[in-house]
């Protein structure tokens, strides 16, 4: 959607939609016209607009963090299997290293996000500024797990 803010891209996009829709005018029903419009919009979107990546929640988690976490997991498994003191020391050192690394990456990601928010505020993009502020303020929400009562479902026994 950000691409549509560019006037040239928006013009090309709308022109391609019109061209695709006007190719065959032998359509009679409303349903078939709707399907044709839908197909032309999807085709123009794929050709003209860039695909956005999914909204990553952990933008701080890079390859280095992942490899260090994997190393920590392997050391933990080795510790559980062997119960040797040296494995315990190695695991504790790796755990400290992973904690420190992830904390640094999270801090950098937060600083980048705050700088971006400042820029949005300076450029008078107030809506996007408050959207980011709400996301930061919301913080981490754990997953809610719902349980059903096995004996009494909807008041019946």
The confidence band for 35, taking pLDDT boundaries of 50, 70 and 90, is confident
Tens-digit pLDDT profile for residues 72-122? 999 999 999 998 999 999 999 999 999 999 999 999 998 999 999 999 999
By three-state DSSP, how is residue 3 classified?
A: helix
**Domain residue spans of the chain:** 2-48, 63-137
Q: Give dist(CA 16, CA 137) in Å, integer.
A: 41
CA distances to 3, 11, 22, 26, 102 from 8, in Å: 9, 5, 21, 31, 42
CA distances to 21, 24, 140 from 32, in Å: 11, 11, 45
The confidence band for 17, taking pLDDT boundaries of 50, 70 and 90, is confident
Residue pair 121/129 in contact (Cβ under 8 Å)? The answer is yes
Residue pair 65/35 in contact (Cβ under 8 Å)? The answer is no
Rounded to two decimals, the pTM is 0.52
| Other CB atoms within 10 Å distance of the CB of residue 45 | 15
Residue 156 backbone dihedrals phi, psi, to 5 degrees: -105, 150
Supply the pLDDT for residue 1. 56
pLDDT at 147 over 80: no
Between 78 and 34, name the one with better pLDDT: 78
Percent of the chain's residues with pLDDT above 90 = 41
Between 105 and 51, name the one with better pLDDT: 105
């Amino acid at each position: 959607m950000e691409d549509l803010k560019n006037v040239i891209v928006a013009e090309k996009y709308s022109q391609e939609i019109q061209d695709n829709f006007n190719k065959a005018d032998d359509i009679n029903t409303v349903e078939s016209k709707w399907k044709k419009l839908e197909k032309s919009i999807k085709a123009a979107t794929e050709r003209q607009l860039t695909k956005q990546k999914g909204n990553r929640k952990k933008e701080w988690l890079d390859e280095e963090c992942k490899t260090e976490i994997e190393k920590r997991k392997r050391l933990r498994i080795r510790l559980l299997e062997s119960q040797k003191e040296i494995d315990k020391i190695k695991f504790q050192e790796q755990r400290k290293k992973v904690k420190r690394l992830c904390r640094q990456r999270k801090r950098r990601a937060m600083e980048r996000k705050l700088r971006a928010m400042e820029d949005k505020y300076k450029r008078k993009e107030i809506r996007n500024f408050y959207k980011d502020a709400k996301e930061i303020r919301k913080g981490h929400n754990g997953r809610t797990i719902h349980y059903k009562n096995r004996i009494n479902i909807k008041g019946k026994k």
